[in-house]
Amino acid sequence: MVSSSCKKLSRLELIYSVNSRFIKELKEVNESLIPQDCLVYLEKGHKNDTIYRTQDSQADSKLSMLLKHSLALLEVCSQAGETVTDLDSYQLLIRMLGDHTDKDSNNNITGKAGKDISSTSLQNPTDPDATYRKKYGDNTGYVVNVVEAFNDVTGGIITN
């Protein structure tokens, strides 16, 4: 079975990673756009405290907090101009919100139930093309395309 080149992310870590990646790029472009609540992503050790030291009972509240940060970033930066909206990390933020959230009857954003998330949704920000699918039985895995080029001199080499 072939897997993505990076580890499988939990939903909490996925949202955190997308937010963090965007905030770090935003710091380089226009630090004043970073909402006050999101400055903690720039602190050393914040990721460990947020993800790895989270107890099961805290997971839902942390997920809600991370989604609020995502929405705050989107709201502040959506009108910031092409310098910000053209960033790959901004596009990942939009994709993640579209793939992993829903609006309820009061127009509040909530996380989608696991079964409602598409197999083509964003699985990992460092490998945005990675997808998963259910195959026969209980097998679930990433789908990967491999390109191998051949010639008479060097033989075969995987090129992509």
Per-residue pLDDT tens digits of the chain, which is 160 residues long: 444 434 345 888 889 999 999 999 999 999 999 999 999 999 999 998 888 887 777 778 888 899 999 999 999 998 888 899 999 999 999 999 988 887 776 667 767 666 677 777 887 787 787 776 666 666 656 556 677 777 777 677 666 6
> Which amino acid does the sequence have at 98?
G
Q: How far is CA 98 from CA 44, 60, 72, 110, 130, in A?
A: 29, 19, 15, 11, 16
3-state secondary structure of 148: strand
Indicate yes or no: pTM above 0.85: no
